[in-house]
Structures are given as structure tokens and as C-alpha cells.
A and B are shown apart, each in its own frame.
Chain A
């Protein structure tokens, strides 16, 4: 099994550009989440989903959109990139937490 796959691994955007970070899992997990990791601040929850068609905001949702049309995919959209969105983004999935969360390898995003 591939687990949680994130693409791209690296991305440089100009301020104001939009893009979509992809996340796919092949474990049939119900729950999926997006986190951002910044130096000295740990990981913070952006958006999460408890199943196809259901999404909700986390701790730092502003500037990001998500959708969950299938169980497998949970893309994160940056609407108009800002330098403050320079970060490492992680996608995670779980089958209701009994076995914990599985994380992808991350997308390192730089906004210039």
C-alpha cells in the first residue's frame, strides 16, 4: 500500500497565484486532515473531513479551501497565495483514530 501520497513535494508560487495541493490515501480511511508546520509553532490544523462530502475548519483555515468528493482524495486549495502561507503542508488520514493517524511526506511551499 502507498499510504498517504502528497503531490507536489516542492512548489514555489508568486504572491497572488492559486494552486492545489493534492492528497490521496489508499487505506479507505474515513478521516482526512491538512496541517501546516512552521518553525517553532508545531503543526496546526487547517481543515479536516470526517467522510466524503463533509469538511470543516480547523485552527488556521483562512486562505484555504477544501473539498472531499471521494473517500480517497482531499485536495487543499490556496486561493491567492501570500508569503505568510510559506510552510510545509502535511496531509493525514485515519480510520477513526483507533490506529492513530498516518501522515504523508509533506509539500514544502514557498510563496515569494
Chain B
């Protein structure tokens, strides 16, 4: 079974700082890796999707990378803002388990003004 781990569990940074969130997975035979944002009491908003053939994806201040051989993905947030405060979730879809997403427990980010 795929195990997905996110480190750190919580992170507090001052506004303007660049930061990196980490996601690791145990089975490198993945189809997709997707990063989500979840605000308190809300649903999941998709941030970036990286397909297994890709190494990175960028959207605005966000950049996600994927290294299948080492079983790792990172989400880089540039020039953080208080509005970035949320929980960030990493989810992996296996190549042999279509439509089954395995989620990490998330990193709770607090960006202080």
C-alpha cells in the first residue's frame, strides 16, 4: 500500500519568506501527484498536478517538483502572504491503482503579517 508522508506537520513563517513543503511516498510507480490547499472547514482546492512524466509544474508563486526515483515531491511557495495560510495536502495516484488517491496528513501553514 502506498504511504504518503508530509513534513513538517506545521509551519509558521513571517510574511515574505520563501518556503518549501515536503511530500514523500513509498511506491514510485505513480501516475499523478497532486497538491491541494484546504482552508479551515472547507473543501480541497487543487493547486498543481504533476503527471509521472513531468518533473515540475508552476502556477504563479507556486512551484511543485517531482522526483519519482527518490519518492519525493516539494511545493515551493515564493514570497509568502498571510492569505497563503491553510493546510496543504499532497496526494498520489498509483499507476496500478487508478482512481485511488493516497493522501498525506498535510502541512498546516501559518504566515504571520
Contact = CB atoms under 8 A, between A and B. Distances in A.
A106 B49 contact: no
A101 B101 contact: yes
Interface in B1-57: 4, 31-32, 34, 36, 42-46, 49, 51
A58 B103 CA distance: 13
Given A33-B99, A33-B101, A43-B89, A104 B49 contact: no
Say what secondary structure dominates the interface of chain B.
strand
B49 A90 contact: no
A92 B46 CA distance: 11
Contacts, number: 60
Contact of A50 (B49, B91, B98): B98
The contact size tier of chain A is 20 to 34
A21 B46 CA distance: 23
A31 B99 contact: yes
A97 B104 contact: no
A43 B46 contact: no
Interface string A10-48: 000000000000000000000101010000111111001
Interface string B76-104: 00000000000001010100001111111
A90 B42 CA distance: 10
A90 to B, nearest CB: 6
Most chain B CB within 10 A, of A42, A58, A94, A105, is at: A42
Contacts of A92: 44, 101
Interface of A: 31, 33, 35, 40-45, 48, 50, 58-59, 90, 92, 94, 97-106
23 contacts: A31-B99, A35-B101, A41-B105, A42-B4, A42-B103, A42-B105, A43-B91, A44-B103, A45-B101, A45-B102, A48-B100, A58-B100, A59-B100, A90-B44, A94-B99, A97-B93, A100-B34, A100-B46, A101-B34, A101-B91, A102-B46, A103-B46, A106-B42
